Homo-oligomer: A and B are copies of this chain.
Amino acid sequence: MTVFQPRCSIEQIEESQELAPKFDDQGLIAAITTDYASGEVLMLGYMNAEALRLTVASGEAHYYSRSRQCVWHKGASSGLIQHVEELRIDDDQDAIWLRVRVAGNGASCHVGYRSCFYRTIPIGNHPRAADLEFVEQKKVFDPKIVYGAAPNPTLL
């Protein structure tokens, strides 16, 4: 089981080979997930210590669901397992980057799109600046079929 080191100095955190992740006051660390082949950002999730340890040990992405308040093996219900090809940590060790290959149809978004980031915000100070544009035109799957009556994780 992966051991996390105590955080002792800035030099240790930034320049050493010691894994000393910083979990926030809710015990979570942010995790960015990109597609290994295309580089596309698929999602931003959160991990607690257990989810990070499970991800390191299994090579499959585990997160902590803030809406369901439990560790979550991504793909357990949908089949869309994320196989981790590379796992990185950032300079101050408060963010994780997972480079993954997604099983099945390759989608990672509960709405049915490939990436959770399926809309752009137009840049520039013009009147319609708040109108999002869809970059994915079509859903990869129908969430009603895949998730059935499970509650939507999106919170207002």
Contact = CB atoms under 8 A, between A and B. Distances in A.
Interface residues of A, number: 65
Nearest to A60: B123
Chain A contact residues, majority secondary structure: loop
Interface in A59-111: 59, 84, 86-92, 95-97, 109-111
Interface string A94-132: 011100000000000111010011111111110001111
A22 to B, nearest CB: 8
Contacts of A137: none
Interface string A1-27: 111110111100111111100000000
Nearest to A121: B87
Contacts of A110: 91
A43 interface: yes
Copies per complex? 2
- Residue of A40, A122, A130, A154 with most chain B CB atoms under a 10 A cut-off: A154
Contacts of A122: 56, 87
Contacts of A131: 17-19
A142 interface: no
Given A1-B125, A57-B125, 8 more contacts: A2-B125, A8-B156, A9-B156, A19-B130, A56-B123, A84-B123, A91-B110, A92-B154
Interface of A: 1-5, 7-10, 13-19, 30, 32, 34, 38-41, 43-44, 56-57, 59, 84, 86-92, 95-97, 109-111, 113, 116-125, 129-135, 152-156
